[in-house]
Amino acid sequence: MPVLQSFATGPKEYREDAARHLYNRYSQRVYKGKLPPMLKSVGVVDVVVGPQGQVLDIIWTRAPRNADVIQDIESLILAAAPYPAPVKLRTVTYTETWLWHASGRFQLYTLTEGQN
């Protein structure tokens, strides 16, 4: 049985567990406070998480214009596995918006502190 578990009953609820997991894993990379009005990139991605918390797929619904940011986000997503196992859902596809600052730090829309 996986150590990390999510008892979410839907993708929206699971998204919060996944966002907290990413923030815990990358606390030093999270942009603290309100983001400035201009960001380097914004990306929207669907992440498919399997029964053991493994990443099965990453699907961009709105890819950032910067190829380096796409690579960074995908690397962060993959390296954070395993995610909380979606116990009640088995496999889940959740959507997250990555708000990317020029410093390489980020916030996730799910847990954002907003913008100035």
pLDDT, one tens digit per residue, over 25-74 is 999 999 999 999 999 999 999 999 999 999 999 999 999 999 999 999 99
pLDDT of 77 reads 98
Residues 6+ apart with CB under 8 A from 102: 39, 40
Q: How far apart are CA 65 and CA 49, in angstroms?
A: 25
pLDDT-derived band at 1, boundaries 50, 70, 90: low
Average pLDDT over residues 11-26: 98
Over the stretch 61-114, which tens digit does the pLDDT of each residue have? 999 999 999 999 999 999 999 999 999 999 999 999 999 999 999 999 999 999
Residues 6+ apart with CB under 8 A from 27: none
pLDDT of 101 reads 97
For residue 55, give the nearest of 78, 75, 25 by alpha carbon: 78
Residues 6+ apart with CB under 8 A from 109: 96, 97, 98, 99
